[in-house]
Structure 1
């Protein structure tokens, strides 16, 4: 039965591609431009850095600085602190990829790597402060506000989803005598290149899916069905929410000032960035081979709920007039 459903879905997808080929071509062209100008330049350097950080033992060095609080609070190995830090700087899915590499390099167990990947898949300051703050809200303060909410809610997610028992402390090992810098550098660059292409592939395919959903009218139907929910959230148009649940960047671009109040838009952006959208989830799956995809989904859902609640609380305390200014 399941195979028949898959076959039917593939057939429908193929027919829609033939019917709306021009729109799909435009969607791929736009997604390619996004990958070349934003996605790859933002992720590739951090992919290289994460691989080198593990190979040269930097992850363990950083972990040693935060070993006690990281193990006590989150029940995660100390080397995971480097993955968490990278996730806050490099954006998704750089931190999750580093968690997978820690597992493949036998620096943590699969259970610990699953827990790390679930909470180390965050966006970075360039996206939240640059694109969302300055670009979407035209306010540096709004970007910093969103970034702080994102970090705090991610840390709360790590605490809520922490493993039952804390790992035993491990001594820091010195790996310098085993290093061969040229092979390590070559391997890091090639690995980062493959990961960047995999991530870009999902940006392309979800851009096509999003275009087809628009063409066949499914978005119009969903907007009508969930209109009462959007009005409850003080949003006059839920297009950005629906698009963002599939592809984050295009969804955020649709949250213009005429779609709702500043507070409502801040809460929507905070929740969407915490979830990341289906495109980010599948991008994460490509760079976390061997780990649980369900754990990543659970982590992003919990993060989105906590980001929603925390941002809702914060906007009731912080004056919106302060967030509107640069």
Structure 2
């Protein structure tokens, strides 16, 4: 039996997607210089602010996760703590990489991986303290407090995840212990191979969404009498986090709410990071609903916690 309402909904979604794609194509054709500037800015941010901090940690994390374990069952809290420590301190999207790899290795169930994906999601310490704290906020101590705020919010959600998993159990799921590991493979070479695909994904999304944000900023400010700084910061924050915080620093550095604006933008993450997480998570069939709720929680919680710490 044909489900006509569902078929109609899929057709509408397809039409909307096609309209968006063609609209962006025309905007890129009409404003190639602005699109180029946005892509160039995204590439520079990736090379200078993301790649040096992200790549070494991803390789080491992947290498560690690909080393075969003894096969003994590990206590739940130890596995969850392992996921949190490895996933939360390497920067976006290391948490998604860590949780997905642990799910593939049979260390987590699908339900556990969904909650842990939501909790093990944080920017790297070097990015927050080095780039955001030192270069944007101009104060290392504020960078440390921002990092603490992010992890306090994540730990609150992590405790909620532990409570939910402990109370409801996982009776309907079994772990397939190490079913996907190749005995003759090299963990280090495999970590290099998979890390390169993650880095390409990060670079692609950062450059693309920076370019889109730049073009839309130009169009909106030309069509409406809206302040360029506000428009650019809001749009870049929605599309690409790193470009968003850079724009906020350029236009609102002296404003009293500037640190909390940075905290909100980093917690929002932007479509670029969400796309990275969704691609990596879906490759291992990780449930994404807890992740969506955790992002909404963090956007409110992190600036509030930072306000208390400051």
User: Taking structure 2 as the reference length, what is the TM-score of the superposition?
Assistant: 0.80
2:218 maps to which of 215, 220, 232: 215
CA RMSD of aligned residues (A): 3.2
State which drifts further: 4-13 or 139-148: 4-13
Deviation at 1:292, TM superposition (A): 2.8
Local SS of the residue matching 1:164: helix
1:55 maps to which of 66, 79, 101: 66
Local SS of the residue matching 1:255: helix
Local SS of the residue matching 1:108: coil
5+ residue gaps in structure 2?
A: 1-11, 171-177
Q: Is the 8 A contact 2:114 2:291 kept in 1?
A: yes
| Residue equivalent to 2:199 | 196
**How many residue pairs align between the two structures?**
287
Q: Is the 8 A contact 1:87 1:123 kept in 2?
A: no
2:249 maps to which of 251, 256, 259: 256
Deviation at 1:161, TM superposition (A): 4.7
2-structure distance, mates of 1:212, 1:19 = 10
2-structure distance, mates of 1:203, 1:142 = 25
1-structure distance, mates of 2:193, 2:129 = 30
User: Taking structure 1 as the reference length, what is the TM-score of the superposition?
Assistant: 0.77
Deviation at 1:264, TM superposition (A): 1.6
- The alignment status of 1:291 with 2:286, answered yes or no, reads yes
Query: Closer, same or farther in 2 for the Cα pair 1:239/1:299, shift >3 Å?
Result: same
Local SS of the residue matching 2:106: coil
- The alignment status of 1:278 with 2:289, answered yes or no, reads no
Deviation at 1:129, TM superposition (A): 0.8
Q: Is the 8 A contact 1:115 1:163 kept in 2?
A: no
2-structure distance, mates of 1:37, 1:97 = 22
1-structure distance, mates of 2:39, 2:182 = 42
| Residue equivalent to 2:6 | none
Deviation at 1:116, TM superposition (A): 0.7
1-structure distance, mates of 2:224, 2:40 = 27
| Residue equivalent to 1:151 | 151
Matches within 5 A, 1:88-107: 88-107=88-107
Deviation at 1:109, TM superposition (A): 0.6
Deviations 1:71-109 (A, max 9, x none): 5xxxxx532322211233211110121001111111111
2-structure distance, mates of 1:291, 1:59 = 25
- The alignment status of 1:130 with 2:130, answered yes or no, reads yes
Matches within 5 A, 1:221-260: 237=230, 239-256=232-249, 259=252
2-structure distance, mates of 1:199, 1:238 = 24
Deviations 1:173-215 (A, max 9, x none): xx9xx99797111111001001110111111110121012112
2-structure distance, mates of 1:239, 1:309 = 24
| Residue equivalent to 1:37 | 48
Deviation at 1:122, TM superposition (A): 0.4
| Residue equivalent to 2:29 | 18
5+ residue gaps in structure 1?
A: 72-76, 169-174, 225-235, 316-326
| Residue equivalent to 1:320 | none
Q: Is the 8 A contact 1:31 1:203 kept in 2?
A: yes
